Structure 1
């Protein structure tokens, strides 16, 4: 099954890749790897903001992480000239969770992105990962995730 077919089965339409918010590029291709800059939690209504452990539940955080994963795939599609069939696998995700000092469920929040990658890409979506806490994130967003992807 193609990635597009899996996404359609999941009811997900990839948006246009978000533009950078500062002086950096959205991705860098080196060899067969695409390094995607951090994608912040946002949906059609705008930014998903808040602090885990205070304003947002783990489930809301996981949903925000899934939105970051959707943006990551949008950037990979752009890096591949619109052809997602060039995507070989997700190599690594690094997730940052805007959370209170006593919040310890960062892995459960970033599972929203990891679970989505596996659902969308199958075994090619399995990846290495880090999930860390941040005292704050740009624009007050709940989650930011960067990724490394292998392409052909």
Structure 2
């Protein structure tokens, strides 16, 4: 089953590439690697504002991370033209806007990792880092970037 068939089965449609909010590009391809800039969590088209451990719980953050994964896939599709050309999701880097006492960053970012794994199977098994940070641009609760290898 193609990645697009899996997306359809999950009821997911890919969004267009978001316009960068500062001086950067949404993606850079060098050789067989595609680097996607960080994407922030959005809800109803606006930054999903919040802080894990203060006004958000882990399950909310995980939902936000899954939404970011969908946005990342839209950008990856724009970068390569066909998600079936992806041979490997190499790495995700997740930043979680969190209170100093919050310790479940890894569980938040699982929202993205689990969807990527479901869509790409073994090629979706990736290296990953998840960090707690004091703030993310526009007050967003989560930001994630992605590196993929393509044919």
Q: Measure the CA separation in 1 of the matches of 2:40 and 2:48.
A: 8
Secondary structure of the corresponding residue to residue 14 of structure 2: coil
Alignment of 1:129 onto 2:128: yes
**Cα distance in 1 for residues equivalent to 2:87 and 2:118:** 15
**Displacement after TM superposition at 1:40 (Å):** 0.5
Q: Deviations over 1:113-139 (max 9, x none)?
A: 000101111111110000000100000
- Are 1:139 and 2:119 counterparts? no
1:96-151 deviations in Å (ceiling 9; x for gaps): 00000010000000000000101111111110000000100000000000110001
Structure 2 Cα separation of the partners of residues 45 and 84 of structure 1 = 24
Equivalence for 2:16? 16
| Correspondence for 1:2 | 2
- Structure 1 segments, 4+ long, off by >2 Å, are 43-46
Q: Give 5+ residue unaligned stretches, structure 2.
A: none
- The 1-side partners of 2:5 and 2:65 are apart by 22
Give the alignment's Cα RMSD to 1 decimal: 0.9
Q: In the alignment, what sits opposite 1:40?
A: 40
Establish whether residue 61 from structure 1 lines up as the match of residue 65 from structure 2.
no
TM-score by length of 2: 0.97
TM-superposed deviation, 1:45: 4.3
Between Structure 1 and Structure 2, how many residues are aligned?
151
Q: Are the equivalent residues in 2 in contact too, given 1:6–1:121 (CA < 8 A)?
A: no
Quote the Cα distance in structure 2 between the aligned partners of 1:13 and 1:7.
Answer: 7
Aligned residue for 1:130, secondary structure, equals strand
**Matches of 1:45 and 1:32, distance apart in 2:** 31
Q: Distance in 2 between matches of 1:103 and 1:43?
A: 22
- Counterpart position of 2:82: 83
TM-score (normalizing by structure 1): 0.96
CA distance in 2: counterparts of 1:136 and 1:11, whole angstroms = 32
